[in-house]
Chain A
């Protein structure tokens, strides 16, 4: 059974930094591209970032470029999101999600999602 468990969400002040983690199990982690998707309270879904199965290719939504960095450690079956220069606009539930393409990239869909970790940016 695929399991994705996010952690690291806390209350942080504007301008602060945070690293989210996602522990994966139930599938061969280093065969799949991974995503971060967020959802502000009471709002819709926003795709944030993607990293290819081998970690060589990354993409970001414009609003986080230069502030967030996605990474992975395939030896630990773990995905990360380093978040810097946080603003109130980054307050959201952050989901880690597995891509549905085996050793593929792009033109895909996140098929399994964790339960999310809540990041609150507030003074």
Chain B
């Protein structure tokens, strides 16, 4: 199975900050990577698919990049509603696997 490792596991930031979260795959996955946002008590929400495609309705301050084994999710200017946990997910081969999550907290 492909292992997905996110870093950092937790990050503190302030409204208006630029934040980058990294996801590394244990083997190459092309561009088959998605990013999700999950708030407490809520279902995950798809933000980015195929590494850099913005899901409909997601604000443009979210962006994704990368290919092969290294990927990033960037939030250009944090808003209060962005504080949540973020997960990456590979879709290159079965079983699909998720990263362990990155908890984005208010500083």
Contact = CB atoms under 8 A, between A and B. Distances in A.
9 contacts: A35-B96, A60-B95, A106-B91, A107-B92, A109-B34, A109-B46, A110-B44, A113-B44, A116-B43
User: What bracket does the count of chain B residues touching chain A fall in?
Assistant: 20 to 34
A42 to B, nearest CB: 11
Nearest to A100: B49
A61 interface: yes
A84 to B, nearest CB: 19
Interface in B11-56: 32, 34, 36, 38, 42-46, 49, 55
Given A59-B95, A107-B91, A44 B43 contact: no
Interface in B58-107: 87, 89, 91-92, 94-101
Interface stretch (A10-18, A19-27, A45-53, A71-79): A45-53
Contacts of B101: 44-45
Contacts of A106: 91, 94
Given A44-B100, A45-B44, A107-B91, 14 more contacts: A35-B96, A44-B87, A44-B101, A45-B87, A45-B89, A45-B101, A59-B94, A95-B44, A100-B49, A108-B49, A109-B89, A111-B46, A111-B55, A116-B43
